[in-house]
């Protein structure tokens, strides 16, 4: 079946070069690529609960830093730099 496709110029040039090196037609190269892609499972990542890391350390804010004040927090950051 004939089909018209819009393919990025650089990608097409690379595909043509690869097909020439492998001595196969561009059509065959594209068919092989599609076959491989269609065989690959949609989701290669395992479906499970995502566990986020949690800091279990102790401590808190430095004395004198107001956690409700953006200015106070930003000043504390500048002091550490």
Q: Read off the pLDDT of residues 17-67 as tens digits, 9 standing for 90 and up.
A: 999 999 999 999 999 999 998 997 776 566 778 888 888 877 777 788 888
- Segments forming the whole domain that contains residue 26: 9-39
Does the residue 15 lie in any domain?
yes
Task: Give the helix ranges, DSSP H, for 1-81.
Answer: 9-22, 26-39, 70-80
What values do phi and psi take at 12, rounded to 5?
-65, -40
Does the residue 13 lie in any domain?
yes
Does the residue 2 lie in any domain?
no
Helix axes 26-39, 9-22, angle to 10 degrees: 100
Q: What is the pLDDT of residue 65?
A: 87
Q: What is the pTM of this model?
A: 0.50
Domain count, the chain: 1
For residues 4-25, one letter each, b for 16 or more C-beta atoms within 10 angstroms of the residue's C-beta and e for the rest, the string is eeeeeeeeeeebeeebeeeeee
């Amino acid at each position: 079946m004939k089909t018209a496709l819009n393919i990025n110029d650089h990608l097409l040039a690379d595909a043509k070069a690869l097909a020439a090196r492998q001595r196969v037609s561009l059509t065959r190269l594209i068919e092989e690529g599609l076959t491989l892609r269609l065989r690959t499972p949609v989701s290669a990542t395992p479906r499970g609960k995502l566990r986020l890391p949690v800091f279990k350390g102790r401590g808190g804010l430095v004395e004198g830093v107001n956690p409700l004040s953006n200015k106070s927090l930003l000043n504390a950051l500048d002091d550490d730099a």
